[in-house]
Amino acid sequence: MEYSNISFENFYQGGDSAFNSEYGGFEGKRISASQLGFPGSPQTANQLGETVNALKQGVKAFEVTMLTPDTAETIPTQHFSEMRALMKLSGVKPSVHGPLIDAAGFDEKGGWGGESGRANNERRMFGTLEKAQILGPDGNIPVVFHISAGMPGTEWMPGGEGEDRAVMNRGVAINRETGQSIGLSREHKFRPGMDPNKSWIEDEEAGGYKEVKGGPAGILFSAEGSVDSANSTEWDKKILEVAEMNKRTEEIIGAAPMNLAEYRNAYFSKDGKKIVSADKDGKMSDLPMISTEAQAKSYDQMRRATLFAKNAEQSFGSAFHNAWAYGTKDQREELEELSNNYSEKIKGARVEGKICGAFDRQQILGNAIDQLDNITKGHAPELFQEAGEFASDKAATTFGNLAMKSYDKFEGKAPMIAIEPVHFGMGLSKTEEVMDVVEKARETFSKQLIDKKGLGQNEADKIAEEKIGVTWDVGHINMMKKYGFEDKDILEASEKIAPMVKHIHITDNFGHADTHLAPGMGNVPIKEILERLEKNGEFDKMRKIVEAGAFVQHFKKSPFPLSLAAFGSPIYGMKAGPGWNQVMDVQGSYSGGFGTINPEQHHSMYGAGFTTMPTELGGQMPGGSSRFGGTPMA
């Protein structure tokens, strides 16, 4: 009967022979151990202790993890200097994972905190860059920031044509004035005059709808189209609100102008003791005081109507602001003309003491409302904006400003900002969105270098490209599978973004949860992704951090040797002999070179030396140890 050794410890029993190059779950992509590292635990501020633990395992790249904002603030400044000293002594290359702070200014509940919220987050993120520079004073240390950490997410689905197959299924639009959000969804609806048993989609060329065979019943409304609908609805509501307020003013005025016909252009003097009027030539003359009961009642109506006229004008001003701020360039030209005409006319109607001023203001405002409605008739102001588009500009501003502040303080030795896309389906997770943020951030940084430092365009662009890039997390992009995408979509995304990638996070999962398994334990096409990233020409220079915290949590085992096996890392620096995948689980006689490390029995029982060395260095003697080498203190 064949015997099988079953143990949860043995994750890589891939064959019978230790000399088989495929043994040990080899991914098919060889990476030197000098390029592989892992991060500290995000749950502790004792990143110094995490660094020491990494050094004991022989890691040559280590990522100081400041993922939890408040925990990160607990790391003392002295620890950054100490970590730097240890890493310099051992030849370890450092990187930093910054805190989960939203670059666009969203809070943890998905609400936008306004420009002040974005600026506050920017200041806190800059503090991370300052600490990172202590770890990497020679410059260009990668500092990872998530592209979003609070903004509402977007659910994508396959269905598009061409290179970009992703279609928005559900999303969110942000009111750019208030920061409030509304839901967007791709759905079929029913409308009068169309066969409810058939499927229809919009036909832009024909300006109507066309039938689609085999689709769900009703008219397909895209999620993106919901934004246009929301803007039109909101704008119609705004115009109606202003018009109704002006109509209320008109109702209060009633027939008052008829009873005050002789006072049409008349004013009370400042002391209120006489009424004056100007003819068409500007000649002033006195008029009799209001004396009849009908005139007095009409004048009282005018005064009450003035209060409503003021409110209507304020509402109009708000509507005009929205049209100006969120309208098109062509609309602005017409709005400027409207503004000039309205301001000139309303100024005369607002003259203090004018008896029929409310009537004039109501008439002028009514005409202005009609003009504003006509200007925006074909294109409502884009008050609502799809969350990705909205956050893209805000986040790019933050990253560009951070790069400039960092360059201002450290110049060429400033850290490198490596923007990391979050799980697919979260905010700004689509590859095109990530690339858009990076390009805009570089443009922002480059422009500031030109304006503030006097650099030429080419030099500024080169620095911006060097200091702002991408951290590509192979586990995050694998989450596309949750929404129906396939390996080919993941590889296309990786190839597309490869020129921007400067740092890599390696982890594994099954596409439905970011489980942080060691490489080779899920279905992430790691080998193929890394081959795409190799094309940018800087692959060997990139730190490759294995994020397998969940594996440590559940299996109480270091992922580092498993990662070395997954990538077939050579045991020896000269790349001769077997790889880690061929020997990691091999058992043999102790004197034969393989065997259990540090057996429970004393080494002297097996004829081995080093019995007086501390356990930290392979011996059996307990005792205090130094901060680095592990040798006894006494």
Length of the chain: 634
Amino acid at the residue 215: G
CB atoms under 10 Å from CB of 366, counted, come to 17
So what's the pLDDT on residue 571? 82
CA 521/CA 506 separation, integer angstroms = 12
Q: Compute φ and ψ for 86, nearest 5 degrees.
A: -65, -45
Find where tokens 């997770």 sit: 429
Consecutive sets of 10 residues in the chain, 634 residues long: mean pLDDT of each?
A: 42 52 76 90 94 91 94 94 95 96 89 91 97 94 95 86 79 90 84 72 68 74 85 94 94 91 84 79 80 88 91 95 94 94 90 87 95 93 93 97 97 96 90 96 98 96 97 96 94 96 96 92 95 89 91 84 87 73 59 50 49 58 53 50
Contacts of 337 (CB under 8 A, 6+ apart): none
CA 101/CA 534 separation, integer angstroms = 30
Amino acid at the residue 256: A
Dmax of the chain from CA atoms? 127
So what's the pLDDT on residue 491? 96
Amino acid at the residue 135: L
Which residues face 219 on adjacent strands? 189, 200
- For the stretch 500-533, pLDDT in tens is 999 999 999 999 999 999 998 999 999 999 999 9
- For the stretch 403-417, pLDDT in tens is 999 999 999 999 999
Could you say which DSSP state residue 79 is in? H
CA 563/CA 504 separation, integer angstroms = 14
- The 3-state DSSP class for residue 331 equals helix
Domain boundaries, the chain: 33-152+386-586, 155-227, 236-375, 587-634
So what's the pLDDT on residue 77? 94
User: What mean pLDDT, rounded, does the chain reach?
Assistant: 86
Cβ-contact 611, 604 below 8 angstroms: yes
- Measure the N-to-C terminal CA separation of the chain; round to a whole number of Å: 55
Which residues face 63 on adjacent strands? 39, 95
| Class of 33-152+386-586 in CATH | alpha beta
* Alpha-carbon distances, residue 457 vs 443, 469, 539 (angstroms): 10, 19, 27
Contacts of 549 (CB under 8 A, 6+ apart): 39, 41, 42, 516
CA 203/CA 220 separation, integer angstroms = 11
Cβ-contact 252, 298 below 8 angstroms: no
CB atoms under 10 Å from CB of 286, counted, come to 11
- The 3-state DSSP class for residue 555 equals helix
Could you say which DSSP state residue 544 is in? E
